[in-house]
A and B are shown apart, each in its own frame.
Chain A
Amino acid sequence: DQQVKQNSPSLSVQEGRISILNCDYTNSMFDYFLWYKKYPAEGPTFLISISSIKDKNEDGRFTVFLNKSAKHLSLHIVPSQPGDSAVYFCAAQRTDSWGKLQFGAGTQVVVTP
């Protein structure tokens, strides 16, 4: 049962433009959400997170938006850079159940010059 879904397997965006990655979840008990970035042959690295008490969190070029009523979150990258080309995973957890991150299938982002 896939509780976290990333319905776009890939995204191509021009350098300097905005990348928008989407993620939907089904479990209303999730209260902490994360985005991880993964380069080939490396493990995922933490990018940004958001607690369910917030609807937006910003860190430099990266902003995560959370819409709890729609069970939807998105990651915005502005402006996109070639080094952002990677697979991005959305993850969710219940903070009363440490460690059991539920991951989406990932979105491959390609930033073109």
Chain B
Amino acid sequence: GAGVSQSPSNKVTEKGKDVELRCDPISGHTALYWYRQSLGQGLEFLIYFQGNSAPDKSGLPSDRFSAERTGGSVSTLTIQRTQQEDSAVYLCASSPQREPSTDTQYFGPGTRLTVL
């Protein structure tokens, strides 16, 4: 079946502009995650959605970052007033969340964001 898809694959924006990044998870997966990978760094957790529960936003670096998940499926990560340090690859993942010991997160290809 189809994997996790993300759009756009690349985004170049000017400092101060807002950007929206989209994620389509695997159908039937109840959990959705956003991570980012800055140059030379590991993946950094941003936010986690599980079903209808309140999202875990503990990884969002500032209040310029927000995310929504509509209808338990598609998610949008919004970055307002972008800064150069926001430049990174933003990765989305989904998982079926059946069992903690066996749950696997499936990643999309990412959106490379460049803030000039």
Contacts and interface: CB of A to CB of B under 8 A. Distances in A.
Interface in A7-35: 32, 34
Contact of B100 (A95, A102, A103, A105): A95
Contacts of A49: 104
A107 B107 CA distance: 18
Given A99-B31, A100-B48, A45 B107 contact: yes
A46 B102 CA distance: 11
B107 A32 contact: no
Interface residues of A, number: 27
Interface stretch (A36-44, A59-67, A74-82): A36-44
Contact of A43 (B42, B59, B93): B93
Interface in B1-39: 4, 31, 33, 35
A82 B33 CA distance: 31
A32 B102 CA distance: 9
A100 B43 CA distance: 11
B56 A100 contact: yes
A32 B100 contact: yes
Contacts of B101: 32, 51, 95
Given A43-B108, A45-B107, A100 B40 contact: no
Interface of A: 2, 4, 6, 32, 34, 36, 41-46, 49, 51, 89, 91, 95-96, 98-106
Question: A-B pairs with the 10 shortest C-beta distances?
Answer: A43-B107, A95-B100, A103-B42, A103-B43, A99-B48, A105-B42, A46-B104, A44-B107, A43-B109, A43-B108
Interface of B: 4, 31, 33, 35, 40-45, 48, 50, 56, 58-59, 91, 93, 95, 97, 100-101, 103-110
